[in-house]
Amino acid sequence: MNGWLAVAAGLCLAGADGAAPLVRHEFTQVRMGVPVTITVYAPSEEVANTAASAAYARLRDLNLMLSDYDPESELMRLCRDSGPGKPIAVSRELFDVLRKAQSVSERSRGAFDVTVGPLVQLWRKARRTKQLPTEDELKAARSKVGYRHVVLDEKHRTVELRLTGMRLDLGGIAKGYAGDETLKLLKSHGLSRALVAVSGDIVAGDPPPGETGWRIGVGPLENAEAPPKTFLRIANQAVSTAGDAFQFVEIDGKRYSHLLDPATGYGLTHHSSVTVVAADGITSDSLDSAACVLGGRRGMEFLRDAPEKVKAWIVEKAETTETSYKVGEFDRLIEPRR
């Protein structure tokens, strides 16, 4: 996910039938390399602070499991230690993320693929140097990519990487999962009226007092810096947007997204935005990425057929033509213009 989503301010104070009034508290810290904002309605500052501290500690632990930047993370140790015939036991959290990733990969026929790590490394270099990877570099990287070469053993909770030199990258799924886990922790502290925004991957609990849902802005495709004109109302759901609004590189006059097509090894060149609303963050985060790679109508059909029954909005622009697709009852989430 890397689109334009913003949380609009809600009520600051509310009471309920003689109970202590619930006051809005907001916290922001950097975790998993991005700003993570936690918003809660709590009966006291002490309760809010205690829950937020525990939530950020949980996020730190998840980063130690799922990061591809930290060479000592559990994910990178798996990539280093596994190989053909070498299954490695992993944590529940890492196994859960990889199980979901494999499911989305199979259903999208590889449009979503967390084994793209070798390609991601090439394109990170390309963004720094403003030079395209060579065909030989792309070919070598693609030889180490393929979700079918990841074998999960449910019984023993092990993962085997069956190609030498495989490198996993959970950038298209981990933040949504982290949002889910953080919301669970906040609820365990008695704070169900809570929202977690891991950069732009947003996971919402019960709505703010007196509201039908959390107000989430979806930014326009053309001007990433412009304030959103479309607002959604969601509660006990997650929303993510994928696209090339912020992360891309322009080389020789051509724009390449940070989102990669595993089949070609290249960054996407179609200008698009995919917003997915789902029951949880791990679903919205992974499905928006898959649909973005598939593009337009194929992405719409993929989301329409998803067993998770998501709602989605796809916008694509080619030169002067803009095409929009809706999935599910997405329009019912849109707040009427004021």
Q: What is the DSSP string of 205-251?
A: -SPPTT-SSEEEEE--SS-TTSPPSEEEEESS-EEEEEESSSSEEEE
Whether 61 contacts 204, CB under 8 Å = no
- Which of 8, 315, 65, 38 has its CA nearest to residue 187? 38
Which pLDDT does position 216 carry in this prediction? Answer: 97
Give yes or no: residues 134 and 191 share one domain. Answer: no
- Looking at the DSSP bridge assignments, the partners of residue 232 are 216, 334
**Tens place of pLDDT per residue across the chain (338 aa):** 444 455 655 444 544 455 679 999 999 999 999 999 999 999 999 999 999 999 999 999 999 999 999 999 999 999 999 999 999 999 999 999 999 999 999 999 999 999 999 999 999 999 999 999 999 999 999 999 999 999 999 999 999 999 999 999 999 999 999 999 999 999 999 999 999 999 989 999 999 999 999 999 998 887 767 888 899 999 999 999 998 766 788 898 898 988 999 999 999 988 889 999 999 999 999 999 999 999 999 999 999 999 999 999 999 988 778 899 999 999 999 998 76
CA–CA gap between residue 77 and residue 97 (Å, rounded): 16
What is the number of structural domains in the chain?
Answer: 2
Same domain, 150 and 29: no
Of 161, 196, 231, which one is at a domain's C-terminal end?
A: 161
For 138-176, letters b (16+ CB in 10 Å) and e give beebbebbbbeebebeeeebbbbbbbeebbbbbbbbbbb
Identify residue 251 by its one-letter amino acid code.
Answer: I
What single-letter amino acid sits at 327? V
Q: Are strands 230-234 and 321-327 parallel, antiparallel or unpaired?
A: unpaired
237 lies in some domain: yes
Compute the distance between CA of residue 311 and CA of residue 275 in angstroms, rounded to an integer.
8
pLDDT score, position 244: 73
Of the candidates 96, 102, 94, which has an alpha carbon nearest to the alpha carbon of residue 74?
94
Instruction: Tell me which DSSP letter residue 208 carries.
Output: P
Residue 289: CB partners within 8 Å, gap ≥ 6? 1, 112, 172, 173, 242, 259
8 Å CB contact between 244 and 255: yes
Q: Which of 66, 218, 179, 249 is nearest to 260 (CA)?
A: 249
CATH number at residue 304: 3.10.520.10
- Cβ(201)–Cβ(4) under 8 Å? no
End-to-end CA distance of the chain: 28
Q: Is residue 156 located within the same domain as residue 266?
A: no
Which of 161, 190, 208 corresponds to the end of one domain?
Answer: 161
Cβ-contact 176, 198 below 8 angstroms:
yes
Same structural domain, 294 and 236: yes
Q: Are residues 239 and 91 in the same domain?
A: no
149 secondary structure, DSSP code: G
Instruction: For residue 97, give the CATH number of its domain.
Output: 1.10.3980.10
The parent domain of residue 326 ranges over: 5-10+22-61+176-333
Total-model pTM: 0.93
* Secondary structure E strands in 44-182: 88-89, 150-153, 158-161
Residue that has been written with the tokens 């060149």 in this structure = 269
Q: How far apart are CA 334 and CA 338, in angstroms?
A: 12
Give every CB contact of residue 73 below 8 A, 6+ residues apart in sequence: 63, 64, 65, 66, 67
**R_g of the chain, CA atoms, integer Å:** 20
